């Protein structure tokens, strides 16, 4: 690992902690309050490990073409999710259109709390969203998922001039490139792992739930060709 990584992560962690505090304070100041979560029947029997298993089993069904989500009664699902949501898992995915999260894990309405941003990077807004999913909605696992041929990671590796504000993503992904080099797959997997670690360390909400064994945070990699998701250790 590049020696500079140990210096970069704490500084980013501090920035994220301050940013999340400001975001949450702003929401409260504006009068937006989060309602206390109601008992979540969909989660009542799931542990963090069980939630992760459910995600990965769903991905196996997706890969094999034996999907079950389309068999769910959508009318009933919609009716039951109008007033509340009870997702068992949260996924931070890249914004890439080739990564349809619910389909990849063979899940339907109300099952997965999804946040998306190019490069699946951690920002104060992403953390605030995932904190809401874990603390209020009761998600049991958070999966930070990179994917094959990620344009954001590739652009960071090339580090060329790009239009608009696309380059704002580069500093978030650069530690992974420093660690893994110019190999796109290796850098993408490293980025997913780094972002998952940052989430666990920058959020006191997430880290607290992890310590209490009420939540698991993992990193994964989605292969566009096979459709398979593998965990990154």
Beta strand segments in 122-207, E: 141-147
Question: For the chain, how many structural domains are there in total?
Answer: 1
Q: Which of 125, 67, 58, 113 is nearest to 88 (CA)?
A: 113
pLDDT of residue 198: 97
Would the CA dihedral through 146, 148, 152, 153 be positive or negative? positive
- How far, in Å, CA of 63 to CA of 104, rounded? 8
Q: What does the DSSP 8-state code read for residue 38?
A: P
pLDDT of residue 14: 60
pLDDT of residue 37: 39
Q: 202 lies in which domain range?
A: 5-232
Beta strand segments in the chain, E: 89-93, 112-116, 141-147, 216-222, 229-232
Averaged in consecutive runs of 10 residues, what is the pLDDT profile of the chain (233 residues)? Answer: 45 58 43 40 74 97 93 82 92 98 95 97 97 96 98 96 95 98 98 98 96 97 98 96
Percentage helix, strand, coil, to 5, in the chain?
55, 10, 35
Q: What is the CATH number of the domain that holds 27?
A: 3.40.1050.10
Task: Report if pTM > 0.85.
Answer: no
Contact 114, 90 (CB under 8 A): yes
- How far, in Å, CA of 92 to CA of 94, rounded? 7
pLDDT of residue 75: 81
Both tokens of 187, joined, read: 């850098």
Longest dimension (CA), the chain: 54
pLDDT of residue 141: 98
């Amino acid at each position: 690992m590049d020696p500079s990584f140990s210096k970069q992560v704490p500084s980013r962690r501090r920035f994220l902690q301050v940013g999340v505090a400001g975001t949450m304070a702003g929401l409260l100041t504006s009068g937006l309050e989060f309602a206390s979560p109601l008992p979540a029947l969909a989660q009542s029997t799931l542990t963090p490990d069980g939630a992760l298993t459910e995600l990965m089993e769903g991905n196996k069904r997706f890969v094999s073409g034996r999907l079950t989500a389309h068999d769910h009664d959508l009318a009933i699902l919609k009716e039951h999710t109008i007033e509340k949501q009870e997702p068992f898992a949260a996924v931070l995915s890249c914004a890439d259109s080739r990564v349809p999260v619910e389909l990849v894990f063979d899940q339907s309405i109300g099952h997965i709390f999804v946040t998306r941003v190019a490069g699946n990077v951690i920002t104060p807004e992403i953390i605030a969203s995932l904190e809401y999913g874990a603390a209020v909605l009761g998600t049991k696992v958070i999966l930070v998922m990179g994917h094959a041929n990620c344009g954001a990671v590739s652009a960071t590796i090339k580090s060329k001039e790009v239009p608009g504000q696309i380059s704002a993503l580069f500093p978030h992904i650069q530690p992974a490139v420093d660690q893994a080099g110019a190999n796109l797959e290796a850098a993408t997997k490293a980025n997913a792992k780094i972002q998952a670690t940052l989430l666990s360390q920058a959020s006191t909400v997430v880290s607290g739930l992890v310590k209490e064994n009420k939540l698991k945070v993992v990193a994964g990699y989605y292969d566009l060709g096979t459709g398979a998701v593998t965990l990154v250790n």
